[in-house]
A and B are shown apart, each in its own frame.
Chain A
């Protein structure tokens, strides 16, 4: 075995041992502690709680509505996020590459809005807020002047539970001046 081989072996093995020990330590931090710290480098550490200790009970839906020039809101429409389960998802499930991050963002957005409360300006520049705004900024009705989105929770497949509004975004003016038919939302 060459000297360089020993070096490679020692460096890679030591790095993995350290990474494993850090991973073990990481499992003991509380959710509150993790919220206060920046994400670990390269996001190499994670907690394997997998729907525990308390799993989420509700689905969150992304709803958008437009406002006409006279200020009257149009009816709400749901931005499709969740696909009904099909057995083929056991093999091929690209839809979760949209639904899982969106669901995480919407849950975090609700928490941010609760935490920041009165500091509305801080909510408006949260990355989650901006991503959701960018998602709902698809083409609107011709007479729409502004748009707003809402986050609404429902109790999964339970049909007799009322949906509840968790978060209401600000009303954003639709700016059609820049790129013809493309409509951009301005803050």
Chain B
């Protein structure tokens, strides 16, 4: 199989939109089903109890407060999550139907922003990446309705780069990460770690250090991947997938896989653009 020919498919923004929307949709189906599974947490005595959280919100007009209580109470949240699930499933199944995908991605963006407001704790970095992927896709889809250009897909790639670089730079600045000690601390946590990871890494300081440096260097240099040849970028993205899959198994961060995977088609769009414009034109599929 010609990797360069296959990757050059990603120069088509519609192709990138479909790929990204489907991956985002899968991640959102999993995330939303997890919230629905734990829906009792939105009621009294739960972690997201609106009866308590509303006390920290500014007072509004009584009508607005009634509307807010209806939307953010347990029943309202279940309805909101139902809408989120419907939008996500639509993206998975009908990403190639332009008008349906546009409605789904715009609806999903609105629901995710509402969830951002409603949930003051517990939003992971994966949830934030998913929000920004959705915003980028929504901007692209809306512009597409009018045959207008959009930076939406490029925004997704840039945001992924920002996330990786920031994470790598802040780790590099800390001696405990450079020595590999911090990695041992993280896997030792009951909430984020795993006993088998502790058994593997605790007696092996050299392995911890090698893994830490691999992650830090890979994260810091992630944006440079768009300059690599086809085999190189493919290898980098497969390594990225393997990294997130490992975190999912060891740390239970299952939705990171889908959130970051959803940015990869946009990264490939940037890669094709860079190669067409500055390095050498890619073959036409």
- A residues within 8 Å of B by Cβ? 1-2, 4-6, 8-9, 12-13, 15-17, 19-20, 23-24, 27, 39, 42-44, 46-59, 81-82, 84-85, 87, 89-105, 127, 130-131, 134-135, 137-138, 154-158
Instruction: Classify the interface of chain B: helix, strand, loop or mixed.
Output: helix
Q: Is B248 an interface residue (CB 8 A)?
A: yes
Q: Is B159 an interface residue (CB 8 A)?
A: yes
B233 to chain A, nearest CB (A): 22
B121, A44: Cβ atoms under 8 Å?
Answer: no
Contact indicator A27/B155 (Cβ below 8 Å) = no
Q: List 5 A-B contacts (CB under 8 A).
A: A42-B116, A51-B192, A85-B193, A134-B45, A156-B190
Cβ 8 A contact of B191, one of A19, A53, A100: A100
Among listed B68-76, B131-139, B275-283, interface-contacting one: B131-139
How far is B167's CA from A126's CA once the two chains are assembled, in angstroms?
Answer: 30
A48→B45 contact, CB < 8 A: no
A20 touches B48 (CB 8 A): no
Residue B53 lies at the interface, judged by CB distance under 8 Å to chain A: yes
**Which residues of chain B have a CB within 8 Å of any CB of chain A?**
30, 33-35, 37-38, 41, 44-49, 51-53, 55-56, 113, 116-117, 119-125, 128, 131-132, 135-136, 138-139, 142-143, 145-152, 155, 158-159, 162-164, 166-167, 170-171, 173-174, 176-177, 182, 185-186, 188-196, 198, 245, 248-252, 254, 257
Q: Which residues from chain B contact A101 at a C-beta distance below 8 Å?
A: 47-48, 119, 121-122
Contact B191 A44 (CB under 8 A): no
State the Cβ distance, B162 to closest chain A Cβ, in Å: 6
Asked if residues B173 and A59 are in contact (CB atoms below 8 Å), the reply is no
Q: Is the CB of B150 within 8 A of A51?
A: no
Contact of B177 among A5, A23, A52, A93 (CB under 8 A): A52
Q: Are A89 and B254 closer than 8 Å at their CB atoms? A: yes
Checking A12, A85, A87, A99 against B150 with a beta-carbon cut-off of 8 angstroms, the contacting residue is A12
B34 touches A156 (CB 8 A): no
Contact call B252/A127, Cβ cutoff below 8 A: no
Q: Are A48 and B124 in contact (CB under 8 A)?
A: no
| Cα–Cα distance between A20 and B138 once the two chains are bound (Å) | 15
Residues in B neighbouring A57, C-beta threshold 8 A: 185, 188-189
The smallest C-beta distance from A72 to any residue of chain B, in angstroms, reads 26
A13 CB contact (under 8 Å) in B117, B139, B186, B198:
B139
Write the chain B residue with the least CB distance to A3: B146
- Are A82 and B254 in contact (CB-based, < 8 A)? no
Please state if B173 and A93 are interface contacts (CB–CB under 8 Å): no
- In the complex, are the beta carbons of B34 and A93 less than 8 A apart? yes
Chain A neighbourhood of B56, CB < 8 A: 127
Q: Inside 8 A of A4's CB, which chain B residues have their CB?
A: 146
Known: A49-B167, A85-B195. A54 touches B55 (CB 8 A): no
Q: Min CB distance, B211 to chain A, in Å?
A: 13
Known: A16-B139, A46-B128, A48-B162. A157 touches B195 (CB 8 A): yes
B49 contacts A1, C-beta separation under 8 Å: no
Neighbouring B residues of A85 by C-beta, 8 Å: 193-196, 250-252
Verify B163–A48 contact, CB threshold 8 A: yes
Residue of B nearest to A58 (CB): B189
A134–B122 CA distance with the chains assembled, in angstroms:
17
Query: Is there contact, CB below 8 Å, between A53 and B171?
Result: yes
With known contacts A104-B122, A135-B45, A92–B162 Cβ distance under 8 A: no
CB-contact partner of A97 in B34, B147, B249, under 8 A? B34
Min CB gap A164→B, angstroms:
15
- B146 pairs with A8, CB closer than 8 A: yes
Rounded to whole angstroms, the CA-CA distance of A8 and B152 in the bound complex is 12
A92 to B37, CA, bound (A): 11
Contacts of B122 on A, CB cut-off 8 Å?
97, 100-101, 104
Q: What is the bound-complex CA distance between A180 and B107, given in angstroms?
A: 43
* Chain B residue at minimal CB-CB distance from A155: B188
A46 touches B125 (CB 8 A): yes
For B44, the chain A residues whose CB sits under 8 A away are 134
| Distance between B133 CB and nearest chain A CB, rounded to angstroms | 12
Nearest CB of A to B169, in Å: 8
